[in-house]
């Protein structure tokens, strides 16, 4: 579901349609699956990576095995979908309560040029996620493979509204899929940015029981 730094309601290709093209085994709202999101059947293996979080600590995805992992893609100067996703992820962590300790929430930047650890820390604090997620960055080369594998799409840097006298605004076209991994590190469910916190919480709790 590609979007830019403004206009969440712009015409777009939904994540569900994209997944149906890319993942023939996906079960959309499969009756009896027990999940509210888009089920991957069979589960999709994770692409492992090592990146750096907002506290300059190294994070290895494989080291999170044993937890349910929620993975999405954001950038700190986004003004529409990214703040919405961050706010809803905060609500999910609230709904989980004490079970939050068994869940790792991970956000990966699509703007490594601007998303410094300081910028990611400030964004995390603004959305009350500083101690509730790992906001990750890396080199462009590292991130391009991750963006493609996890359906963030072809990340486009755009500078709309530039004039000779006005400072251009900065926007990035990207997708914000939300992947949910089971404790074995397999992707079991995927949402788009329009997910309902209660639905995502339900699916996380379902995986915690398995």
- The predicted model scores a pTM of 0.84
The stretch 137-158 carries a mean pLDDT of 88
* Residue 139 CB contacts under 8 Å (≥ 6 apart), including other chains: 112
The stretch 183-197 carries a mean pLDDT of 97
| pLDDT band of 155, cuts 50, 70, 90 | confident
From the list 180, 172, 170, the residue with the least C-alpha distance to 201 is: 180
What is the rounded end-to-end Cα distance, in angstroms, of the chain? 30
Q: Where in the sequence is the domain holding 10, given as residue range(s)?
A: 2-208
Interval 114-124: pLDDT, tens: 999 999 999 99
Interval 28-37: pLDDT, tens: 545 457 999 9
Type and span of the H or E element at 50? strand 50-52
Whether 163 has a pLDDT exceeding 80, the answer reads no
From the list 54, 48, 47, 46, the residue with the least C-alpha distance to 136 is: 54
Question: Under DSSP, is residue 185 helix (H, G, I), strand (E, B) or coil?
Answer: coil
Question: Under DSSP, is residue 197 helix (H, G, I), strand (E, B) or coil?
Answer: helix
Whether 22 has a pLDDT exceeding 60, the answer reads no
Burial of 80: CB neighbours in 10 Å, binned 0-12, 13-18, 19+: middle
Interval 125-137: pLDDT, tens: 999 999 999 999 9
Omega before 42 cis (within 30°)? yes
pLDDT of residue 206: 97
| Total tally of structural domains belonging to the chain | 1
Chain-centre distance for alpha carbon 50: 16
Compute the distance between CA of residue 63 and CA of residue 153 in angstroms, rounded to an integer.
25
Whether 24 has a pLDDT exceeding 70, the answer reads no
* Residue 13 CB contacts under 8 Å (≥ 6 apart), including other chains: 1, 2
pLDDT of residue 167: 45
CATH for 128? 3.40.30.10
Interval 88-108: pLDDT, tens: 999 999 999 999 999 999 999
From the list 109, 155, 166, the residue with the least C-alpha distance to 133 is: 109
Percentage of the residues of the chain whose pLDDT score is greater than 90: 71
- Rounded mean pLDDT of the chain? 85
């Amino acid at each position: 579901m590609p979007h830019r730094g403004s206009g969440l309601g712009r015409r777009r290709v939904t994540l569900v349609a994209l997944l149906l093209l890319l993942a023939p085994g996906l079960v959309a709202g499969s009756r009896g699956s027990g999940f509210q999101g888009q089920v991957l059947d069979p589960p999709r293996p994770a692409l492992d990576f090592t990146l750096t979080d907002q506290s300059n600590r190294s994070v290895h995805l494989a080291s999170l095995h044993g937890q349910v992992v929620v993975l999405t893609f954001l950038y700190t100067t986004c003004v529409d979908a990214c703040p919405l996703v961050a706010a809803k992820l905060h609500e999910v962590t609230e709904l989980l309560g004490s079970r939050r300790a068994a869940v790792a929430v991970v956000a990966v930047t699509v703007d490594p040029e601007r998303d410094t650890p300081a910028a990611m820390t400030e964004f995390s604090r603004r959305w009350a996620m500083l101690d509730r997620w790992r906001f990750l960055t890396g080199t462009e080369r590292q991130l391009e493979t991750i963006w493609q594998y996890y359906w963030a799409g072809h990340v486009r840097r755009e500078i709309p509204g530039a004039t000779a006298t006005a400072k251009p605004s900065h926007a990035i076209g990207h997708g914000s899929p939300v992947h949910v991994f089971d404790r074995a590190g397999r992707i079991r469910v995927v949402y788009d940015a329009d997910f309902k916190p209660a639905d995502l919480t339900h699916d996380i709790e379902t995986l915690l029981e398995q």
